[in-house]
């Protein structure tokens, strides 16, 4: 266990063989952007759009139910609540973290660094008993002999090698298929521009929300007079608390503004565009991070469905396949698997849900208990909700109709009373018959 102190396989690193986080700080996301700011995965979270996007992804994945299933002999599946991984994935990942907290942490790592790592704690039989998250910025991955080797830099210094059998690794978009790439490293210019605009706005308003200017004096001032005049002007007219104060100019002085007004610089438009730009990077619908400019009552629900299908689903597949690869034994792969349930995210409004339930119920692929389970309700008592209904006029394709009679009436043809009667023989009044009497 890494949390238990320095392992025996402790290795000291030096500048000739630096860990990955040092390389990233020099060549990767730690380099200075054109906006003049250094962007890393951690300070990128100071951008509200990045923080909101990462939070949406992390909380969505963490809040979805994650179950271990066992494949049935023919078709279908059933929950494998007795499997050792079930409580780890569904209830508590380790003694200090719930399943929600663990998945939220790792999904945040995935969104920022493009990789999520966890150490697998096993018992004497090799069965996983806990998962402990590891910082991606301290992990170095190497490929050797068709296998991956993991080296982790400890907080107290030094590097330790972790066996690949004890590492749970979820990868994001990758260039080599072994290690994911950080979205922040590709988007650092956009994030840097957003943070620079925010810093500019802070400085803009701290200076009385007005650009700088020049005080012109008709004569020549001494250094002491310049210093006094500059300090006096700033004390009286700089800062929001001094806004709109009357300026009194003496000795023929004039004030000339040389900055650009904020509206001409399109400052607010720049900040708004950067929110949409960062939402595009994380593939988050803008309305989910507070940009409601193009959100309407008619398209928000469809955007939510698109979010599940095109944004969340690929991440869930990455998680599910990583769990299958790293946490299950090889002889379990054909029998067990883990799966997220996204039914709750895809639920529409009450009217749409009940209409879809009615279709499933009438066409025979939903029972009353199935519907009640989807609505988080208990089954009907005494098994009354397990019956499946079928339409009366439906038969298997290619099957000939079979005559069904009730009280002498052929149900396959409601116009036939018996095999010896035709529709012409049905006792009914003639067209010219009045009150049932013949002429």
Per-10-residue mean pLDDT of the chain, 439 residues long, equals 43 48 49 76 87 93 94 88 96 96 96 95 95 94 85 89 94 89 86 76 59 67 76 66 60 63 56 79 85 64 81 95 96 94 73 84 89 85 86 67 53 48 46 48
Residue 411 placed within a domain: no
pLDDT at 402: 55
Q: Are 68 and 127 found together in one domain?
A: yes
pLDDT at 137: 92
Q: Are 360 and 294 found together in one domain?
A: no
Residue 409 placed within a domain: no
Q: Are 186 and 78 found together in one domain?
A: yes
Residue 365 placed within a domain: yes
Q: Are 325 and 240 found together in one domain?
A: no
Residue 307 placed within a domain: yes
Q: Are 167 and 30 found together in one domain?
A: yes
Domain containing 372 equals 347-383
Q: Are 118 and 235 found together in one domain?
A: no
| Tally of domains in the chain | 3
- Tell me the whole-structure pTM to 2 decimals: 0.68
Given 320, 346, 372, the domain boundary residue is: 346
Q: Are 358 and 229 found together in one domain?
A: no
Q: Are 205 and 245 found together in one domain?
A: no
| Secondary structure of the chain as H, E, C letters | CHHHCCCCCEECCCCCCCCHHHHHHHHCCCCECCCCCECCCCHHHHCHHHHHHHHHHHHHHHHCCEEEEEECCCCCEEECCCCCHHHHHHCEEECCEEHHHHHHHHHHHHHHHCEEEEEEEECCCCCEEEEEEECHHHEEEEEECCEEEEEEECCCCCEEEECHHHEEEEECCECCCCCECCHHHHHHHHHHHHHHHHHHHHHHHHCCCCCCEEEECCCCCCHHHHHHHHHHHHHHHCCHHHCCCCCCCCCCCEEEECCCCCCCCCHHHHHHHHHHHHHHHHCCCHHHHCCCCCCCCCCHHHHHHHHHHHHHHHHHHHHHHHHHHHCCCHHHCCCEEEEECCHHHHCCCHHHHHHHHHHHHHCCCCCHHHHHHHCCCCCCHHHCCCCCCCCCCCCCCCCCCCCCEECCEECCCCCCCCCCCCHHHCCCCCCCCECCECC
């Amino acid at each position: 266990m890494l949390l238990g102190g320095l392992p025996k396989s402790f290795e000291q690193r030096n500048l000739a063989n630096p860990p990955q986080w040092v390389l990233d700080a020099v060549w990767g996301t730690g380099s200075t952007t054109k906006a003049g700011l250094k962007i890393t995965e951690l300070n990128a979270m100071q951008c509200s759009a990045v923080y909101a996007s990462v939070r949406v992804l992390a909380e969505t994945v963490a809040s979805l139910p994650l179950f271990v299933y066992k494949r049935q002999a023919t078709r279908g599946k059933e929950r494998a609540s007795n499997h050792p991984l079930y409580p780890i994935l569904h209830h508590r990942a380790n003694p200090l973290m719930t399943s929600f907290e663990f998945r939220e942490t790792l999904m945040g790592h995935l969104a920022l660094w493009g990789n999520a790592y966890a150490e697998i704690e096993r018992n004497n039989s090799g069965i996983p008993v806990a998962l402990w998250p590891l910082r991606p910025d301290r992990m170095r991955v190497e490929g050797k002999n068709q296998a991956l080797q993991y080296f982790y830099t400890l907080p107290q210094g030094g590097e330790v090698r972790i066996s690949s059998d004890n590492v749970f690794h979820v990868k994001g978009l990758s260039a080599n298929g072994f290690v994911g790439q950080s979205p922040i490293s590709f988007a650092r210019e956009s994030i840097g521009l957003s943070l620079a605009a925010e810093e500019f706005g802070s400085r803009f308003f701290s200076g009385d929300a007005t650009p700088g200017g020049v005080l012109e004096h008709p004569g020549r001032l001494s250094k002491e007079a310049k210093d006094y005049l500059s300090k006096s002007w700033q004390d009286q007219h700089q800062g929001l608390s001094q806004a709109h104060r009357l300026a009194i100019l003496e000795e023929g002085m004039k004030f000339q503004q040389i900055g650009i007004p904020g509206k001409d610089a399109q400052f607010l438009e720049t900040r708004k565009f950067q929110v949409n730009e960062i939402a595009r990077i994380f593939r988050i619908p803008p309305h989910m991070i507070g940009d409601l400019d193009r959100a309407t009552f008619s398209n928000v629900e469809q955007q939510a469905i698109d979010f599940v299908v095109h944004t969340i689903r690929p991440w869930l597949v990455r998680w599910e396949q990583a769990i299958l690869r790293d946490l299950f034994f090889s002889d379990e792969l054909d029998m067990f698997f883990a799966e997220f349930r996204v039914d709750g995210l895809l639920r529409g409004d009450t009217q749409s849900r009940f209409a879809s339930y009615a279709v499933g119920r009438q066409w025979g692929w939903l029972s009353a208990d199935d519907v009640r389970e989807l609505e988080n309700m208990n089954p009907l008592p005494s098994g009354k909700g397990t019956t499946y209904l079928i339409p009366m006029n439906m038969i298997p394709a290619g099957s000939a109709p079979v005559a069904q009679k009730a009280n002498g009436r052929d149900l396959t043809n409601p116009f036939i009373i018996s095999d010896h009667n035709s529709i012409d023989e049905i006792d009914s009044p003639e067209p010219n018959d009045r009150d049932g009497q013949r002429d």
